Structure 1
Amino acid sequence: MLQTAVVFQGVFERYEVSDADFRADFLPGGSHGNTGLPSKSDWTVVEKFVKELQYFYELTLRVSGSLFVTSNTFLDEISDVDDLLKEWTRSDDDAFVDMARRMRAKFDKYWGNIDKMNMMLYVAVMLDPRHKFNYLLYVFKNMYGSERGEMMGNLTKGALYDTFEDYKKLYVSTNTTSTSSISSSSMKMRGIASGDSNDTDSERVFVRSHRKKYQQMISEIGGMDESELDMYLHERIEKDYPKFDVLDWWKVHSPRFPILSRLARDVLAMPISTVASESVFSTGGRIIDDFRASLTPKMAQSLICFQDWLRHNPMKSSEEDYDFIQNIERDFSQSIGTESGIIGI
């Protein structure tokens, strides 16, 4: 809205000169008791707001995306907003500082207390091989200070290990059973092939059986699976480039991280924002509300129902479609002729 107003700045000035009704409505002491038309200084402030708030518009588009992964990028967005608000509060413009402080209060309400946050968002960040835990800890310390950032980092890392333990319980038993079955079958086949006649071969099978039992024991107590997560976190981070696809990375490395890749698949599927999904279903919330139309509840319900009928109507030719719409408009006008309280659609 502000961006559009800036474009038509000259129109406001022209109306002030040529339109008496416009002056009566908007000049100081007018029929609506307004404070007057925007001054030169007001337009300067508006232009500055448009420039600065453009970032939030672009941020909304990024976090509301539904065709690409967003959960691993939210920390970048939040840390940028934190730096931006800190910069704005140091501005020389009092109005700008006041706006920044009010925005900061809302920011701290949502992002100031980690106990009220969904830990899976931070787990998603650590499952990005370009970030991992060290980047998360760095951002925490930059945003909240060294001591508090360290505490938040420990909490999020603990959440990652706890989630990994849950996934380990789901998948490790299946993997262990299949491995044991394969090992037993292979040992039997080797025994049949050799006829169990060679003592050296028997001793070798005996040694291998102990090795299999040891590996199974380590797997059951979680040593091997725990090292899978440790190995991932201790490896060097991946280089970032414009077309990096985090899902492709986990697909390629899933043989190395069989359980962790399952965790990454599920966590990275979470959207940051529900705006994109809600807009598909929420006609009432996204199209018709107290600020967009002056409709009675009955009429709003009728319009939504009527819209659904139109969308499911079979395709018609151009002439048939024109006649069809004309008839609908005539019948609709007659049906709402007695409806009161309708200002417009």
Structure 2
Amino acid sequence: MYVPCPHNSEVICEGLHQVLVEWHLERKISTVTLDNCAANDKAIWNMEDKLDSNSLMLQGKLIHMRWCVHILNLIVQDGMSVLKEGIERVRDSVAYWSATPKRHERFEKMARTLNIPYTRKIGLDCKTRWNSTYLMLSTALPYQEIFYRLSRQVKQFDCCPTIEDWNFAKEVCDKLKIFYDIIELLSGTKYVTSNILFPKICCIRLVIRKWSATNNELMQKICEEMKEKFDKYWLDVHGLMAMATILDPRYKTHMLQALFGSLYGYEHAANKVDELKNLMVELLLEYKESDEPAASVQVAAQVDKDQEDEAGILLDQYMMQQPIVSSQLCTELDLYLEEPALPRTQEVDIITWWKVGGMKYPTLQRIARDILPIPVTTVASEYAFSTSGRILSAHRSRLAPKTTEALMCMQAWSRDNMFDNVTSDHFAIQSVLEDEQEAMEECESEITIED
């Protein structure tokens, strides 16, 4: 969807609402996942006035889902802001030996001489993207001996990292790997991610606390920056994603008790879990009330069908007049929580489980249907914004816009095994690629003639 300038909250809100109305989705919204931007926050606040609050979960209290992968990246970036000096010589060394093909060839030759498998090509990172810094460090670390040998042979190479530099780089790489693996996991598109977000977020808080006990002053400063940013966004993903964890039959409230116990102490953990259970009870009441009209229609149809069953008619009419008692709903939740949890290590298709096993809990089943599919991020991965760097390389920087678009589409379709379903679009893109190839060949022939 194209949003005209200026990209303020009013324009974003109006554009989003227009699309929802056009697709007839304005009464079918559970959450809207957005990144952490002031304009987006205000846009969601304005959006609540345009939507029917009765169609939203808890009158719209849960409509704004924070883009958690973006938040994790902000946490890491704040910590990495003090990292420049610690890995500067490693970055300079990688930059030196990857600057030209001739230098890289010599680096590769030294790897063969030392009998070190050169399976991953070294490459310079982008300083504003921490994940590329992680990849640079994880790639360079196995080749410490190569850098050292070359520093003794090449006088111009005067920035070889010291042993302390490598040790610090390894420590940083080990810590960044946790964030990298979690973000890769949360960026999945073929499985549910909402139920695993809360445990992973809590694990990050626990490891930051553990890292702060190190004797390295620079690492302590990094942890302080990460902790400050984490505490700022903690409440943004606290309630809704904790309920998604409860709806995982392997975790339920046991996972919350364990995590809250480690974070706050087990006495305070019980209060936190009770708050979340009360929130789920509110949802149960709301979903049960929304079922009443449909239930009334169903009973009325049954009455017309079974005219001869006078006793059944009287019972149905009596039940329709009875008020909903919250304890009955609490019983449904209690029954689910009291049922033994599935083994934690068991692979579970949680959507299928609720579709089949959750039939015993019809109201909870509807809640699970709306909460579990909530995406915790809006892109396949945070660094997907830099896709152009992997398509428009330094040696292939003159591709036409249509060709670039075709390459990106074919890459995505190939990754998702969609080629079997692609017909006309595939041939259209193939035609664009062929036209572009012909144009490039003509251009090359003209240059040859001029030469």
- The TM-score, its normalising length taken from structure 1, stands at 0.69
Change (3 A) 1:138 1:307: same
**What letter corresponds to residue 239 of structure 2 in structure 1?**
M
174, 179, 188: which is aligned to 2:294? 174
Q: Which of 155, 161, 164 matches 2:281?
A: 161
CA separation in 1, counterparts of 2:373 and 2:144? 45
Specify the alignment match of 2:140 in structure 1.
5
In 2, distance between residues paired with 1:278 and 1:172? Answer: 43
Alpha-carbon distance in 2 for matches of 1:268, 1:333: 57
Q: Please say which structure displays the higher CA radius of gyration.
A: 1
Of 231, 251, 264 in structure 2, the residue corresponding to residue 131 of structure 1 is: 251
Q: Which residue of 1 aligns with 2:315?
A: 211
> Which residue of the partner structure matches residue 341 of structure 1?
none
Contact 1:140 1:152 in 2 (8 A): yes
Q: In 1, distance between residues paired with 2:243 and 2:199? A: 14
The count of aligned residue pairs is 289
2:404 paired residue number? 307
Q: 1:98 aligns with which of 221, 240, 251?
A: 221
The residue that corresponds to 1:68 in the other structure is 191
CA spacing shift, 1:333–1:74, aligned 2, 3 Å: farther
1:68 to partner: Cα distance:
0.7
Where does residue 49 of structure 2 map in the other structure?
A: none
1:85 aligns with 2:208: yes
Higher mean displacement: 37-46 or 88-97? 88-97
- Which amino acid is the alignment partner of residue 301 of structure 2? S
Q: CA deviation at 1:74?
A: 1.4
Query: Matched residues in 2 for 1:97 and 1:4: separation?
Result: 25
For residue 78 of structure 1, report the CA deviation from its aligned partner. Answer: 1.8
Matched AA of 2:148: E
Partner of 2:56: none
Which residue among 437, 446, 449 is the counterpart of 1:325? 437
* 2:368 alignment counterpart: 264
SS state of the match for residue 161, structure 1?
A: helix
> What residue number does 2:355 align with?
251
Paired residue for 1:42?
Answer: 165
How far residue 71 of structure 1 moved from its aligned partner, in angstroms, is 0.7
Q: Distance in 1 between matches of 2:238 and 2:393?
A: 36
Which ranges of structure 1 fall in alignment gaps of 5 or more residues? 27-36, 192-204, 336-345
Cα pair distance change 1:242/1:150, threshold 3 Å: closer
- Give the partner amino acid of 2:386: R
CA contact (8 A) 1:127 1:264 kept: yes
Relative to structure 1, the CA distance from residue 12 to residue 334 in structure 2 (aligned partners, 3 Å threshold; closer, same or farther) is farther
1:286 and 2:386 are equivalent in the alignment: yes
Give the secondary structure class of the aligned counterpart of 1:275: coil
Query: What residue ranges of structure 2 are gaps of 5+ in the alignment?
Result: 1-135, 411-424
CA distance in 2, matches of 1:66, 1:245: 14
Deviations 1:113-172 (A, max 9, x none): x2x446321221121222223532442232134565455434433332222233223223
AA aligned to 1:140 is F
Which residue number corresponds to residue 308 of structure 2?
189
Query: Do the aligned residues in 2 keep the contact of 1:219 with 1:225 (CA within 8 Å)?
Result: no
Q: 1:167 to 1:331 in 2, by over 3 A?
A: farther
Structure 1 residue 331 displacement after superposition: 3.9
> Structure 2 vs 1, CA of residues 328 and 249 (structure 1 numbering), >3 Å: closer, same or farther?
same
- In 1: Cα distance, 2:308 partner to 2:341 partner: 44
CA shift in 2, pair 1:229/1:333, >3 Å = farther
Q: For the aligned residues, what is the CA RMSD? A: 3.6
1:175-226 CA distance string (max 9 Å, x none)? 232134314532x1346xxxxxxxxxxxxx2xx5553334323465666445
Residues 59 and 77 in structure 1, CA contact (< 8 A), matched pair in contact too: yes
